[in-house]
Structure 1
Amino acid sequence: MSNLNPGMDAETFDQFIDQLRRYVRDRLIPAERDIIESDCIPPEIIDELREMGLFGITIPEEYGGAGMNISQYTRTIRELAYAMPCFRSIISITIGMFTSAMKNGATEAQRQEWLPKLAAGTITSFGLTEPGSGSDSAGMQTMAVRSSDGGWVLNGTKRYITNAPQAEVALIMARTSKEPLPKNAHVSAFIVPMNTPGVSVGKSDKKMGQAAGHIADIILEDVHLPAEALLGAEEGKGFITAMKSLDNGRLSVAAASIGYAQRALDSALRYATERKAFGEPIANFQLIQQMLADSDIEIYAATTMLEDAARRADAGENVLRKAAAAKVFASEACGRIVDRVVQVYGGAGYLAEYEAERFFRDARVYRIYEGTTQILQLQIAKHMLREFNAGVN
């Protein structure tokens, strides 16, 4: 398998990962309790993430980024996701989805304008989901119509949008045709600065978990945009661009699931070693050991799937099925692992005083992010059947 995307120099990358691992354990994890209580990442930590270059890890060097390939990107997310999920959330849309859309679908002028800003730490949002539609583009209601000056006017509402309260710019999917068109050509993508008149953000939604990782509605009311706001300067490419970006988003969620599952398992190992029952550590009990071993097995399997999908993406393969499969397995495995961790903790696992309860709540959304397990199962099966009927081995 030829490697078309070598990414960052291997030695430099290893040094970066070592630095990131120390930063996560020495700086981010000790800050978690205060962040949970305030439901806010301190501005100084966001500035530190910028200074480390985390917002630009996948952006080519000529635009001010680190030029990591997909394998390095997912490894970085795994390390960062060992800490509470809000740290990944604040950067993941920029490095995974917005940047991917810019690289895959933008004009060179758009790349020159936006990629250096993204690399410097611009917080972004990705506006696809709506109150009445998510993966179903035919149900999308947000409309973009031509204005008299050759620009665009957008109206609609986007729902459950990560980073919406903090975002400085959003990539918004909107219909440019009232009638559904083949290959979702009725949907286009627009670069929308959040300070544009007519753009407003709803109240942050209260969630089951993921403290300090904010989601909210983005409301668009007669939002006037210049012609250059149309991604790629071409109508009808928005949904295709979004779906290509979602491959990276799904790999990011798989990586986040693995990183957080490892954090939860390490917590369970520590607790099982310290907690005693019947005069000995509960880690000596075989059924506790079975839960620990099953969790380690699933993390290994998920990691192997993710690394394979990322390696194939770097080689230029279409990884839609592989990315979906890795995301489904890793997120479902994470759910099983955090459930076992609560069980290892026993009664303490149900108390907010202990971290197992938080792991359980935080992890649940990974099976929903970037396409639910069920949607991705349908997508995988559809492509399997298409290939079978076409005679592809």
Structure 2
Amino acid sequence: MPGRDSDVLLRTQISPALLTRLYESAERTAATGEPDHEVLAELRESGVLATAVPVEYGGAGGDARTVNAVVEKLALVNPSVAIIAFQHFAVSARIAEWGSERQKKTLLPALADGSLLAASAWSETGAGAAKRKLSSTAVRRDDGAWVLDGAKSFTTGASVADIYLVLVQTEEPAEVTDSVYGSTGQTFFLVSADNPGLVPDLSLDLVGMRGSATGFVSLRSCVVTDDDRLGPEGRAPEIIAGVRESGATLGAVSMGVARAAFQLAAGHLEKRGLFGKPEVRHRMVGLATRIESAAAIVERAGARTAANPGLTTLHSKLHASGVAEDICLDVARMLGSAGYVTASRLNRLLADARAVGLMGPTNDLCRELVAATWPK
């Protein structure tokens, strides 16, 4: 439809004032290691959280390209908030794709207007990056309700989210499964933050993404109804696979980090009048070229034009996260002693760049998922 792309982008614009406050917030949370509730409240009110919600449910109707563009713009000034937003978009998209009519009508408008902030709680200690050995469980009661028990780790948005997409084991997994991510007998549930059986814990003291409210979520006799189940019982791996196929990629976060580091280097060199030297200009061109190569594969992932969109999404995270970390290291060498101080923004960017590679699916798991597509 002519004009639709520009209309969607217009509805997902981030105001310069909010971008400034996000930038300032990143500096504060890097020091405190705590989420900035005030700036998150502004994000809720900005309309940006509507990006991945279909128009018919009050959203902007953005596709993966739009999601990636918004996430990159947020990550340019505040990678921690970009990660929170990415998880919100991912849950919104899963509800739009797999949710019941009741879930769509009830949750999607609230996710769009910011009254609900969503998070994913999939990881747990001992489960492995592929989530094959979950110890968290859901047991169905005689009245049809479910009781969830267990503990989730590295949940981004813990304590600040209003609703969590929780992955649990609802039946014993089969001995053999073709799934590389997840296992048979796993099911997703949407659990409200005000459920007394869900307890967030922000005791994790992370090196990077320090304002992302990444922590633990405990499930203690957490009772939910069958209406809170997302998608078919025992078929969570299908939903997980669809996340990759969507084209939305954490590589967009890496792109924001890489561009921020490049801007930092440019400002440093300009301030010292070093751009007049050909070797300096050529070195910066080399950095810019690597950033553009990563941007191209992130764009291709979002456009979903490849024969295997899921594979491109995996490659986009691997390449963009690697480029972001390398760019930060190269800029550190450029800055020399100017970057070798605790207060340097570059140190935060480098820690954030490293963090993306550890976020699900981790880069090691991405490599396994890519390798699994090769002929045996």
TM-score, structure 2 normalization: 0.90
Structure-1 separation of matches of 2:354 and 2:59: 32
- 3-state SS, counterpart of residue 342 of structure 2: coil
Measure the CA separation in 1 of the matches of 2:124 and 2:267. 42
Q: What is the CA deviation profile of residues 67-119 of structure 1, one whole-angstrom value per residue up to 9, with x for unaligned ones?
A: 01111111111111111212213322111x21122122222222112111211
Whole-angstrom distance in 2 between the partners of 1:144 and 1:208: 33
1:278 maps to: none
Query: Would you say the 8 A contact 2:158–2:202 is kept in 1?
Result: no
Indicate the SS of the match to 1:81: helix
1:181-220 matches, cutoff 5 A = 182=177, 183=179, 184-220=183-219
Distance apart, 1:362 and its partner CA = 1.8
Of 135, 142, 146, which aligns to 1:152?
Answer: 146
Q: Which residue of 2 aligns with 1:82?
A: 76
What is the total number of aligned residue pairs between the two structures?
A: 370
| 298 and 24 in structure 1: CA distance in 2 versus 1, 3 angstrom threshold | farther
Identity over the aligned pairs, expressed in percent?
A: 23
Which residue number in structure 2 is paired with residue 265 of structure 1? 262
Q: Could you say if the C-alpha distance between residues 12 and 179 of structure 1 is closer, same or farther in structure 2, counting changes exceeding 3 Å?
A: closer
Q: Which residue of 1 aligns with 2:234?
A: 236
Question: What is the one-letter code of the residue matched to 1:111?
Answer: K
Deviation for aligned residue 1:160: 0.7
Q: Distance in 1 between matches of 2:355 and 2:288?
A: 21
**Stretch moving more, 40-49 or 147-156:** 40-49
- CA RMSD of the aligned region, Å? 2.4
Cα deviation digits, residues 295-318 of structure 1 (max 9, x gap): 2111101111111111116x9x65
CA contact (8 A) 2:209 2:352 kept: yes
1:104 maps to which residue?
97
The CA distance in 1 between the partners of 2:142 and 2:2, in whole Å, is: 44
Q: Supply the AA of the counterpart residue of 2:346.
A: A
Structure 1 residue 61: Cα displacement: 1.1
Q: 2:7 aligns with which of 6, 12, 17?
A: 12
What is the rounded CA distance, in whole Å, between the counterparts of 2:30 and 2:364 in structure 1? 31
Partner of 1:3: none
Paired residue type of 1:69: D
Aligned with 1:310 (options 296, 299, 302): 302
Are 1:371 and 2:366 matched, yes or no? no
Aligned to 1:295: 287
- Counterpart in 1 of 2:332? 342
Q: Structure 1 length as normaliser, TM-score?
A: 0.87
The residue identity in structure 1 corresponding to 2:47 is G
Shift of residue 207 of structure 1? 0.8
| Matched-pair contact (CA < 8 Å) for 2:122–2:152 | yes
Query: Which amino acid in the other structure matches residue 306 of structure 1?
Result: V
The corresponding residue for 2:370 is 380
Aligned with 2:253 (options 242, 252, 256): 256
CA distance in 2, matches of 1:36, 1:336: 21
Gaps of 5+ in 2: none
Of 333-342 and 136-145, more deviation after overlay is shown by 136-145
The amino acid that maps onto 1:360 is L
**Which AA in structure 2 matches 1:271?**
H
Q: Structure 2 vs 1, CA of residues 364 and 8 (structure 1 numbering), >3 Å: closer, same or farther?
A: farther
Render the CA deviation track for 1:241-264: whole Å, top value 9, x for unaligned.
Answer: 12322555x833111111121111
* Alpha-carbon distance in 2 for matches of 1:24, 1:289: 32
Contact 2:83–2:253 (8 Å) recurs in 1: no
